[in-house]
Amino acid sequence: MPLSRPTPASLIGSGKVEEITNEARGLEPEVIIVNAQLSPVQQRNLERAWNTKVLDRTALILEIFGERAQTREGRLQVELAHLTYQRSRLVRSWTHLERQRGGFGFLGGPGETQIETDRRLIGERMAKIRRELTEVSRTRGLHRSARKRVPYPIVALVGYTNAGKSTLFNTLTKSDVLAKDLLFATLDPTMRGLKLPGGRNVILSDTVGFIADLPHELIAAFRATLEEVLEADAILHIRDAAHDETEAQRADVLAVLEELGIEPDGERPILEVLNKIDLLAQGVRAALLERNAGTNNGVAISALSGEGLPALLARVEALLGAQENVFRLTLDAEDGAGLAWSYRHGRVLKRQQRNGRIRLEIAASPVEQAQFRSRFGAKLA
């Protein structure tokens, strides 16, 4: 019979603790993982009962994050999360609270206890990491500013962990980002250039996978990896269409985006991409492709087989095109530099040359148009 509320001492009931104890005697596991968040006392009591190491959900996710982080910033964020978690559990490591370092002063009283020493050392390390992360964040901000001077739209891939974002990223950009059937295979943001069918250049950004009930120790690290999403001109929400809980995963992703200040019906367009249709039955796959053809419901694709990718790129182009303004620019025929600059920074829709002048009709985003205005001034119409 399910418990009406968690047991303070062990989270689960005494009968279930005894049942797992008997199983552990026969299996002798090196570690038992509990899919819940345990308090330090609960973790200690379960380890004593089961006579083995116990990890809760937070500790397991921290271990996975630690293995996946590749960049300096990613490693620093994970270490900070680890230290935050460990500091709350020092009582587990030092049950002998009477253990002390040597005293000092005239009275020769008790010195610093070991737990106090550990807490102080962890605090000092956390402060150092925060300083380093501040510097890393400042550097990344400079990189974003530099990208804005090369006004290519940013298209960010977001989605639940293991939804196939990195596979799609690799397929579209012909890259070799790690793409495996693993949780959090991508932790560090990766960006590559992509040319759309109409010739427009964009920057595609691969991001960390989302997860339900993210441990609070990891929220800061998680959000830091998603800063690029806040700069994106369009967002592709990659969903695992073959997963039994695809709707629940969708809700989790949208909830995180809302926490970041990105509303589903806001100014920044979000396109749902139903991935892994190659794993669906033929009839279901055909129905998805037909339902989404020429509608705003989303796009059905297989990042692995390439099915549906042309339709996806066309939709991305249409999304970005909807954000563009069309204007005219008149240049002297001898202004080759200005002409080349216009082709690099906008989409030239029409070109006419007459009486020593070149007239261009250009489509560009509001940011790009501001740059045209700054460079050419009164030549714009």
Per residue in 155-168, pLDDT tens?
999 988 889 888 89
pLDDT digits (tens, 9 = 90+) for 49-68: 999 999 988 888 888 777 76
Q: What pLDDT score does 237 carry? A: 94
Asked if residues 164 and 275 have their Cβ atoms less than 8 Å apart, the reply is yes
Contact 159, 165 (CB under 8 A): yes
110 domain-assigned: no
Q: Which helix (H) or strand (E) holds 272?
A: strand 270-275
Please check whether residues 208 and 277 belong to one and the same domain: yes
On whether the CB atoms of residues 151 and 345 are closer than 8 A, the answer is yes
> Could you tell me if 185 and 310 lie in one domain?
yes
Structure tokens, 355: 């009486």
Asked, for residue 339, whether it belongs to a domain, the answer is: yes
pLDDT at 185: 45
Q: Determine, yes or no, domain membership for 248.
A: yes
- Asked if 181 and 316 sit in the same domain, the reply is yes
Which of the listed residues 46, 65, 84 is the one where a domain comes to its end? Answer: 65
| 272 within a domain of the structure (yes/no) | yes
**Do 255 and 183 have their domain in common?**
yes
Q: Residue type for 189, please?
A: P
Is residue 222 domain-shared with residue 303, that is, in the same domain? Answer: yes
Are residues 160 and 230 both part of a single domain?
Answer: yes
As given in the structure block, the two tokens for residue 243 are 């997963």
Answer yes or no: is 227 within a domain.
yes
pLDDT value at position 72? 77
Is there a contact between 315 and 301 (Cβ–Cβ < 8 Å)?
A: no
Q: How confident is the model at residue 102 (pLDDT cuts 50, 70, 90)?
A: very low
88 in a domain, yes or no?
A: no
Task: Of 2-11, 25-34, 275-284, give the lowest mean pLDDT range.
Answer: 2-11
Please tell me the total count of domains within the chain.
3
Instruction: Check whether residue 164 and residue 267 sit in a common domain.
Output: yes
> How confident is the model over 221-264, as pLDDT tens digits?
666 667 667 778 889 999 999 999 989 999 988 888 887 778 87
Same-domain pairing of 197 and 261: yes
Q: Which of 7-16, 38-47, 78-87, 148-157 has the lowest mean pLDDT?
A: 148-157
Question: What is the residue range of 161's domain?
Answer: 153-322
- Are residues 339 and 265 part of one domain? no
Which among 164, 154, 163 has a CA at the least distance from the CA of 250? 163
Rounded alpha-carbon distances, angstroms, from residue 93 to 78, 116, 261, 332, 354: 21, 12, 40, 76, 82
Tell me the average pLDDT across 177-191. Answer: 54
pLDDT digits (tens, 9 = 90+) for 104-138: 444 444 545 677 788 888 889 999 988 988 887 77
Domain boundary (296, 322, 348) is at: 322
Say whether pLDDT at 101 is over 50: no
Domain membership flag for residue 118: no
Tally Cβ neighbours within 10 Å of residue 307.
15
CATH value at residue 246: 3.40.50.300
pLDDT tens, position by position, 285-331: 777 766 655 445 688 999 999 998 999 999 998 888 877 788 899 89
Are both 163 and 312 inside the same structural domain?
A: yes
**Which of 276, 291, 322 marks a domain boundary?**
322
Tell whether 315 and 338 lie within a shared domain: no
Q: What is the pLDDT of residue 275?
A: 94
Regarding whether 357 and 302 lie in a shared domain, the answer is no
Instruction: Give a yes or no: residue 332 inside a domain.
Output: yes
Between 73 and 254, the higher pLDDT residue: 254
